[in-house]
Amino acid sequence: MSRRLFVALVPPEPVRIEARRASDHLRRALPSLQARYSDPAATHLTLTFLGRVEEPEVDTVARVVTGLARTSRRFVARSAGLGAFPSSRRASVLWLGLEDPTGTLAELHRSLAAALPAGDPSQHQRFVPHLTVARVKTLRGTPRALVADALAGFEPAREAWPVSELVLFESQLRPEGARHTPLATAPLAPVSAPEAAEDG
């Protein structure tokens, strides 16, 4: 028996609200777009996707994630503008971006990808922190320029996201969509008082 696993960050309520606002904006701006919009209540930022992991190895993966979390300090990211993969002209995924001046998101991604077996070769490409807003079924009937205008027309609120833990999820594929179940939570190291004072 195996489980389909990934490691992610779960956003706070203000960022989930921002994701919902982004979704509403795109629905209004692109009424003809054939896409499946994500549920903002279940949104997450994937740091690494492991794919199928055999049951005996799940505890080992959880220990690795916990160990990496202990070596990383808590930090603050912020919601940013909208974008598309691979581009607005060939959009297959529409997303809400995240800003991280500390670079910790990319560092966590690299550390997890190096320590755990990646189930998705695309993870070796440039990491772009994001929350998926919609998966495009087809762009037929939707002008490419209109997609670019819709992405550029969103005004981000730049909501703060205090990142304090990693979560190991199991993803179960179902006809109505994937169901994500948290298996383990790994707290990041707290910021010391002197560091907090410097950041302030």
Can you give the residue ranges of every domain in the chain? 2-199
Question: Are 132 and 95 in contact, with CB atoms under 8 Å apart?
Answer: yes
How many CA atoms does the CB half-sphere of 32 hold within 13 Å?
Answer: 8
For 161, the 3-state DSSP assignment is strand
Tokens of 180: 């994500």
Q: Does pLDDT of 59 surpass 80? A: yes
Fold (topology level) of 2-199: Cyclic Phosphodiesterase; Chain: A, (3.90.1140)
Name which residue leads in pLDDT, 198 or 58: 58
Question: What gap in Å lies between CA 93 and CA 22, rounded to an integer?
Answer: 13
Threshold 0.85, pTM exceeds:
yes
If one compares 194 and 146, the residue with the highest pLDDT of the two is: 146
Q: Which of 29-33, 132-136, 145-149, 171-175 has the lowest mean pLDDT?
A: 171-175
* pLDDT level of residue 77 (50, 70, 90 thresholds): very high
**Res 126: pLDDT:** 79
Rounded to an integer, the average pLDDT of 24-40 is 96
